[in-house]
Each structure stands twice: as C-alpha cells, then as structure tokens.
Amino acid sequence: MASVIRGDDNFDSGSVGSTTAGAVGTYALASWPSPGSAKTAGDTVAGSTLRLAAYSYSNNNNTAYGGVTTTGLSGTWQLMGGWTGNSNNQASVFIRIS
C-alpha cells in the first residue's frame, strides 16, 4: 500500500530543522555555571553564559560530575527543563531560539 500525504502533513526537506550544531532550532545539553537562582522551563538566557555539558557518573559516591566546554554558545537559548540554581554540577536541555 502506498503512503498518502494529506494537508499539512508535508514531509519535504524544507520543513526539517537544521542539524548543524548550534544553529537556531537545535537543542543542546548545557551547563549553566552561574545561573544565580532557580529557573523554569521557558526561561531564556544568553548563550554566552552556557557551556556544553559532558557528564559522567561515579558509582563510588552516586554523584554526577559535569565536564564542560570553556567557551559559551552563540545566540539566545530557551530552557526546556528545570534548574535549581544550587550547583554547577547540573545540566539541562536548551533550544536555540535566535
């Protein structure tokens, strides 16, 4: 049976978001070294204050350690998760919005 595309269910390549790292519309797992306070999903932040996260897990003391890049990201990013603001050893998902 052949597939049928109706209405706005158009899967042409022009409607697919970018897959270039850091482009508008892409996601990043990032660490926020100095968030200052708790944040919630939907809050926006300058990319220059974020660092790409690289997390590993230690079985010795059940603690996640964040190794992050040293340079910030470009553009403006929106927080897609939550943030307690209490520790540098946190990461969350961000989407670049501009």
DSSP assignment string, 56-87: EEETTTTEEEEEE-SS--SSEEEE-S-B-SS-
Look at the pTM and tell me if it is higher than 0.75: no
- Output the six-digit token pair for 51: 């660092």
Does the residue 13 lie in any domain?
Answer: no
Range of the domain at 72: 24-96
Does the residue 5 lie in any domain?
Answer: no
Does the residue 18 lie in any domain?
Answer: no
- Output the six-digit token pair for 2: 């052949």
- Are the beta carbons of 30 and 7 closer than 8 angstroms? no
Does the residue 64 lie in any domain?
Answer: yes
- Tens-digit pLDDT profile for residues 69-92: 778 899 999 999 877 766 656 788
pLDDT value for 82: 79
How many domains in the chain? 1
Does the residue 78 lie in any domain?
Answer: yes
pLDDT value for 32: 77
